[in-house]
Amino acid sequence: MTDKKLIGVDLGGTTIKFAILTAEGDIQQKWSIETNILSDGQLIIPDIIDSINHHLKMYDMKADQFSGIGLGSPGTINFKEGTIKGAFNLNWTDAVYPVRDIEAGTGIPVTIENDANVAALGERWKGAGNNADDVVFVTLGTGVGGGIIANGQLLHGANGAAGEIGHVTVDPHGFMCTCGKRGCLETIASATGIVHVARDRASEYAGDSELKAMLDDGQDISAKDVFDLAKTGDDLAIIVADYVCDSLGFALANIANSLNPKYVVIGGGVSAAGDFLLNKVEKAMRANEFATIKDSTEVRLASLGNGAGVIGAASLIKVD
């Protein structure tokens, strides 16, 4: 085993996270900078290069002490060209060239991957995925993202869109999704989806509920409020939480029925609702799974939190 180190970079819309890791995936140093999306995001890649070079200097390290840099980024990745397109939250509309530019700027080889996929790889390697060969990861944040590892390989699909679990249809007559179709999982189980469901159910709810009172009062509510109130027994909040978890469990069961993963891992901000959410989702999954899947696929909460991205990004690097 090499004693060369890895650099993982997790590029997000508000921060860029960096880590230096051992070949075994243990984080030795980590830091972050703000993402500067001004000037069409053209400062982002130079900022990444400067930050890496600055820290290597600070730690008295040289480029040849690293096996590579792994970068997780939003947008559509062209693996052959090493380009990223359509990362709209970074203001990247035209293709950018992180592989070419970061390699030239640091002297270290670069590998890139979609951000939801690197989080999946991170949880698989050092988190709840227990380094299994078959892991499905779903992240419940502002949107719903996902990544699928099957037979030890990340699935990309014919056009790089494999693992877009957020756009699995769970209600063909449901809410409109940003993708243009109806009833995607994202419209129900994302942080914004949960609030949408709460407002929708509140309008026809006539019982006694603090959630209902908050909404009628014009207060801003969050997905966390919904789950916190459900945990205290609030009737409307329980109706919303049940619908969200039933929909998520239904989608995950069908994915499990197709792939028979060892672990289905649930991460992202909404998963902070913890065992309360996990137990409801598991119940809905079991109701929709066939026997072999029930016996062999386990659903778990993610364990790495925000660290999954840098670890997964580092796992992209080929270590010789």
Interface contacts to Zn ion, rule CB under 5 A: 167, 177, 179, 184
Encode 126-161: b = buried (16+ Cβ within 10 Å), e = exposed. bbbbbeeebbbbbbbbbbbbbbbbbeeebbbeeeee
Closer residue to Zn ion (CB): 4 or 182: 182
Q: In the block, which residue shows the tokens 């991170």?
A: 122
CB of 182 to Zn ion, least distance (A): 8
> What is the distance of C-alpha 99 from the center of its chain?
22
Element (DSSP H or E) covering residue 126: helix 115-126
Query: Got the DSSP string for 169-185?
Result: BS-TTS-B-TTSSBSBT
CA angle 244, 248, 252 (to 5 degrees): 170
Number of Cβ atoms within 10 Å of the Cβ of 91? 16
**Would you say 154 or 189 has its CB closer to Zn ion?**
189
CB of 13 to Zn ion, least distance (A): 19
Contact (Cβ atoms closer than 8 angstroms) between residue 145 and residue 235: no
Which residue, 41 or 268, has its beta carbon nearer to Zn ion? 268
CA distance 63 to 310: 18
Least separation in angstroms between CB 128 and Zn ion: 26
Measured from the CB atom, the residue of 177 and 238 that comes closer to Zn ion is 177
CB of 75 to Zn ion, least distance (A): 17
Give CA–CA dist 245/279, Å, rounded. Answer: 9
Four-point Cα dihedral 209, 211, 217, 223, nearest 10: -170
Is 70 or 75 the residue whose CB approaches Zn ion more closely? 75
Q: How far is the CB of 301 from Zn ion (least distance, A)?
A: 24
For Zn ion, the closer CB: 15 or 178: 178
Smallest separation, CB 231 to Zn ion (Å) = 29
**Closest CB to Zn ion among 48 and 144?**
144
Q: Residue 94 has which token pair? A: 């035209």
**275-288 and 235-259 are packed helices; what angle lies between their axes, rounded to 10 degrees?**
50
Residue 197 CB, shortest distance to Zn ion, in Å, is 15
CB of 251 to Zn ion, least distance (A): 12
Beta carbon nearer to Zn ion, 21 or 248? 248
Taking residue 287's Cβ as centre, other Cβ atoms within 10 Å add up to 12
